């Protein structure tokens, strides 16, 4: 991640938990090093965590839309993904 990106960071925007589970909503903020290095990018996502009896994370699952949140932001590939999305929508 640090090889291809500048200034990568996560910002937690919401969290809630119950029992031994928690959910986090987050924004992953970064800049591409090679293409558009001045443009701040944001990928929105969520994480589901479960904790064991000793309080350690025993389950971790991230949810995010790779097509919308990442592929559409990559030069050339982004144009193709947006075209496919428009065609699929009718």
Residue-wise pLDDT for 23-36, tens only, equals: 999 999 988 887 76
Q: Which residue range is the domain that position 28 belongs to?
A: 5-64
Structural domain includes residue 89: no
pLDDT classification of 83: cutoffs 50, 70, 90: confident
Structural domain includes residue 88: no
Structural domain includes residue 14: yes
pTM: 0.70
Residue 44 has pLDDT above 70, yes or no: yes
CATH code where residue 47 lies: 3.10.450.50
Structural domain includes residue 32: yes
Q: How many domains does the chain have?
A: 1
Residue 15 has pLDDT above 70, yes or no: yes
Structural domain includes residue 42: yes
Residue-wise pLDDT for 47-59, tens only, equals: 999 999 999 999 9
Q: What percent of the chain has pLDDT over 70?
A: 87
Residue 3 Ramachandran class (φ > 0 left, ψ -120 to 50 alpha, else beta): alpha
From the list 58, 45, 56, the residue with the least C-alpha distance to 14 is: 45
């Amino acid at each position: 991640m640090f090889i291809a990106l500048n200034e990568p960071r996560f910002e937690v925007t919401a969290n809630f938990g119950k029992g031994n589970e928690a959910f986090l909503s987050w924004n992953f903020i970064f800049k591409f090093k090679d293409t558009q290095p001045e443009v701040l990018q944001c990928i929105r996502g969520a994480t589901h965590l479960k904790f064991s009896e000793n309080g350690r994370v025993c389950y971790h699952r991230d949810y995010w839309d790779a097509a919308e949140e990442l592929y559409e932001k990559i030069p050339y590939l982004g144009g193709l993904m947006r075209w496919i999305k428009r065609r699929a929508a009718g």
